[in-house]
Amino acid sequence: MMEGLVKVSIDINGKKYTDDVEPRLLLVDFIRDIARLKGTHIGCDTTSCGACTILIDGMSVKSCTMFAVEADGRKIQTVESLATDDKLHPLQEAFWEHHALQCGYCTPGMLMSSTFLLSRNSDPTEEEIREGIAGNICRCTGYINIIKAVKDAAGKINAGKETE
């Protein structure tokens, strides 16, 4: 191992990625450059925009504001984990249906923040949705369609649970 490098092993979307990294390597760079999962984006330096939002052990965090070494041994979910067996997640369906994205750059972060929100609150009000995505900036959509999409997805997920 090169001097100063630290062995890091992170479970991303159910797959383990192990590498020797500099301690200063940002988690988002581990995800993008080492795991080559490019859906997680970088939009700022100041923990403001949320484009890099992922779930770590189920909690939403901004992966540009963590070092990869801090995530050693933990489980991460990125936007690439949402669709399974070619079936989109209800949030993805709803974002598509409601035109909740334009340039698409903030979308992965928005989806992950929304995923976290719905994991804590299965039927959020409009105000709770706004608050739930307040850590994610979108410059294109004006947010209204995103709010609609999250509300709709929540409804569909709940309806799905009832019929099960």
Partner 1 sequence: MPQEAQVIMEKVSGRKVNRISGTRMKRKEDARMITGMGTYTDDIKFPDMMYAAFLRSPYAHARIRSVKTEKAKELPGVVEVLTGNDLKDKMSPIPTAWNLPNADLKHTPYYSIAFDKARYVGDPVAVVVARSPYIARDAIELIDVDYEILAAVSNQEDAVKEGSPRLYEGIENNVALNWKFAGGDESVFDQADVIIKERLRNQRLQPSAMETRSAIAKYEQGKDETTIWMTSQNPHVHRYLFSSVLGIPENKLRVISPDVGGAFGSKIACYGPEVVLIYLSRKLKAPVKWTEDRRENYLSTTHGRDHVHYVEMAAKKDGTILGVRVKVYSNLGGWISTVAPGVATVLSVLMYSAQYKMQAVQCEVIGVLTNTMAVDAYRGAGRPEATFIVERMVDNLARKLEMDPAELRRKNYIKKEEFPFATVTGTLYDSGDYHTALEKALDLIDYRKQVAENKKLRKEGKLVGTGIGSYVEMSGAGPSKIVRATGYGLGLWESATVRVHPTGKVSVLTGGHPHGQGEDTTFAQLVSDELQAPYEDIELVHGDTAIIPFGMGTYASRTTPIAGGAIALACRKVLKKATVIAAHMLNTTPDNIVYDNGEFYSEGNPTEKRKLSDIAYSAYGAGFDQLPEGMEPGLEETTFYDPENFVFPFGTHVCNVEIDPETFQVKIKRYVAVDDCGPQLNPMIVEGQIHGGIVQGLAQALYEESIYDESGNLITASLADYAVPTAVEVPRFETASTFTPSPHNPIGAKGVGEAGTIAAAPALVNAVIDALSEYGISNIDMPLKPENIWKAVRAAKS
Partner 2 sequence: MYPTEFEYYRPKTLDEALELMKTVEEPKVIAGGQSLMPMLKLRFYEPACLIDLGAIPELKQVKLDEGGNLRIGAMVTHFEVIENGLIRENAPILASTAENIGDIQIRNRGTIGGSICEADPSADYPPTMFVLEASIVLLSKEGRRTVRIEDFIKGPYETDAREDEIAVEIIVPKSTDQYHVEKYARRKADFAVVSVAAIARTASDGSIEELRIAAGALTDGPERLKSLESALKGKKKDSVDLQTSISETVDALTPISDIHGGEEYRKYSLKMMLARVIKELIE
Position 154 contacts partner 1 (CB under 8 A): no
Figure out which of the listed residues 7, 16, 87, 99 binds partner 1, where binding follows CB under 8 A. Answer: 99
Strand-pair partners of 7: 20
Residue 30 as a binder of partner 1 (CB under 8 A): the answer is no
Rg over alpha carbons for the chain, rounded to the nearest Å, is: 16
Coil, strand or helix at 140: coil
Cα dihedral 49, 54, 55, 59, rounded to 10, equals: -10
What's the DSSP call for residue 142? -
If one counts every other C-beta atom within 10 angstroms of the C-beta of residue 56, the result is: 17
Q: Which string of x and - marks every residue 32-71 that binds partner 1 (by CB under 8 A)?
A: xx--xxxxxxxxxxxxxx-x--------------------
Nearer to partner 2, 9 or 96 (CB): 9
What does the alpha-carbon distance between residue 67 and residue 23 come to, in Å, rounded to a whole number?
Answer: 7
Q: What is the DSSP letter of 31?
A: I
Interface residues with partner 2 (CB under 8 A) are 4, 6, 22-24, 26, 45-48, 50, 53, 59-62, 64-67, 69-70, 72, 113, 116-117, 131-132, 134-136
Structure tokens at 28: 């988002």
Q: What are phi and psi of 68, to 5 degrees?
A: -60, -40
Written as six digits, the tokens of 121 are 């609150």
Least distance (Å) between residue 128 CB and partner 2: 11
- Residue 12 contacts partner 1 per CB under 8 A: no
Residue 33 contacts which entry, partner 2, partner 1, none (Cβ below 5-8 A, type-dependent) = partner 1
Q: Which of 106, 117, 118, 153 is the binder for partner 1 (CB under 8 A)?
A: 106
* Contact residues: partner 1, CB under 8 A: 22, 24-25, 32-33, 36-49, 51, 78-80, 82-83, 88, 92, 95-97, 99, 101-108, 111, 129-131, 133-147
